[in-house]
Amino acid sequence: MATLIIDKVTGRPYGEAVAARILRPPRLAHTVVPGDDPRIPGRHVHGYRSIAGGDLRDITVYDKSSARGEGDMISTTGDLDRRLAALFSGELLPPELLRLMFTLPPDDVRMLDGSPARDSTGLPQATVNGVTLWGKTGEKHGYQNGAFSTRDQRRRFVLAYHPTAARNGAESRMIARVADLLTRT
């Protein structure tokens, strides 16, 4: 697991290393790595999940520690946008690592559906209406988000949404609709 490597290489816990290297440089004051704390600090939207009978259950307080390094960072849309801008501007990585983030595998590497691989070292890529976007999604029960940009940052968007049902593909379709609207010329 990457978090264990980060702990070992940096000599400090994963959350502290993330704060020092990713959160502080672009001044992301509204992003935290909560560790074992199941609560969301500050003002926030509550997350809900549909349960039997169609009722909604508040799942805002949720132990994220089992997903250490995967879905355990809490942020605002403003901070997600600043982090994306800082990453694409070269503020967070040296040029050679940033170049790797925008390098796709060779054409003969395929996804499970047989299409060409669209994931670089860290960022998936999609071309919508002739516009190539790079970005990332994140999710945890009751909370989902996406942050995408063109490499030159002329088109960049962040969205947050709060599904109540288990993942059924509607989220991917919604992101595709938003990307379609934002890339039309």
User: What's this model's pTM, rounded to 2 decimal places?
Assistant: 0.84
Residue 34 pLDDT > 90, yes or no? no
Domain coordinates in residue numbering, the chain: 2-183
Model confidence at 25, pLDDT cuts 50, 70, 90, reads confident
* pLDDT score of 133: 95
Residues 91-136 have pLDDT tens digits of 999 999 999 999 999 989 988 888 888 888 778 999 999 999 999 9
Residues 150-177 have pLDDT tens digits of 999 999 999 998 888 766 677 778 888 8
Characterize the bridge pairing of strands 156-161 and 143-149. Answer: antiparallel
Domain 2-183: state its class: alpha beta
Q: Which token pair is 65?
A: 């520690």
Question: What are the residues whose beta carbons fall under 8 Å from the beta carbon of 132, sequence distance 6 or more?
Answer: 125, 126, 150, 151
* pLDDT score of 150: 96
Task: Assign 3 to helix, strand or coil.
Answer: helix
